[in-house]
Amino acid sequence: MNSFIRFSIPFFLSLSALVTTAHADAAPLSGKPGTSADRSSSREENEEFANFVQWREVGEFIDQIVAKHGFNRTELESVFGKTRYVERTIQLVKPAPPGQPKNWRAYRGRFVEPVRINAGVAFWDQYADALARAEAEYKVPAEIIVGIIGVETIYGRNTGNFRVMDALTTLAFAYPDTPNRTSRIAFFRGEVANTLLLARESGIDPFSLSGSYAGAIGWPQFMPGSIRQYAVDFDGDRKIDLSGSPVDAIGSVANFLVRHGWKPGEPLVFPATVTGDGANRWQDLIGKGLVADYRLDELEATGVVPGTELPEHLLYGLVDLQNGFEPTEYWIAANNFFSITQYNRSYFYAMSVIELGRAVKASRER
């Protein structure tokens, strides 16, 4: 973790001091991680006092992080006593009702469109030096960094106005009844702990952090744990500020990708078709995880046909982009495509990042 993780907020001596500090007004919009699409209602409509301190599981959680991280129990009880339940977060994490098939073209249309492309050109023009430096240091193309920040928050326009402590605590202890409830509860409880650790390490009020309904923060929508692990001070001011420094956001996105397997100079995706020549064994390659595991000859043996010549020394995976009731698109993805899916575990997301970045680059060059 970078030793200079601090925010542009005065240092306070203890959590008890932190939680009694007045909070700044939140940003007017909220951003769903990976979509930037949600707009929240007023805080009064979304939040209510829940007295989390009286919840048995919250008490057990406090015991755990006191023992593990050396927090003061009284101070933590004060924090959770001021944390509010946010019903809106519960509604937003619920899965979409069944019946409507996934539609890549509709999804793409939300992100690769004139507003984001024009905003991306302006962003690239303004921060060209930082993007060039990130590309040189991390070997991540500027267009990929631009694509991620554009998809996430429309270049800082839509970073979220939920208090992170409220959103994460609500999801950590009141996650709705879904098939993945157990794993999501574990994830969000980890992020509550990371929020408290980030606040302590940075000398800030944990309630000063605002973000999406799922607790993602700043221009690149990093979760608190990702801030602690992957965020970098890229503007050289000896603090990390993903909400106020687009340059820190640029460097942090690049560092995140490198730490998740980005390989300099390797390709992303290639168009493909599928045939019955391999007895439709290509179907066995669908949904095999976010990793490139197959040699080119192995793909071809199942009936996958590349639309162009591919490097034979790399490993690949088969990506299916469903188009509602229209034919599915198939792509052969290399390692760097799957590195992007570690940012958001979705083929749609990774492809929209790639295509938005390319569209911004092409528009800027014109």
Show which residues are catalytic: 152
Q: Taking each helix axis from N to C terminus, what angle separates 73-82 and 56-69, rounded to the nearest 10 degrees?
A: 140
Question: How far apart, in whole angstroms, are the C-alpha atoms of residue 42 and residue 306?
Answer: 50
Given the structure tokens 């569209």, which residue do they identify?
Answer: 359
**3-class DSSP state of 366:** coil
Q: How far apart are the first and last CA of the chain?
A: 40
Question: How far apart, in whole angstroms, are the C-alpha atoms of residue 238 and residue 323?
Answer: 46
| Strand arrangement, sheet containing 317-323 | 304-306, 269-274, 326-333, 317-323
- Which tokens sit at 19? 């939680």
Strand (E) or helix (H) holding 319: strand 317-323
Q: Taking each helix axis from N to C terminus, what angle separates 104-111 and 347-365, rounded to the nearest 10 degrees?
A: 40
**3-class DSSP state of 104:** helix
How many alpha carbons fall within 13 Å on the CB side of residue 86?
A: 26
**3-class DSSP state of 107:** helix
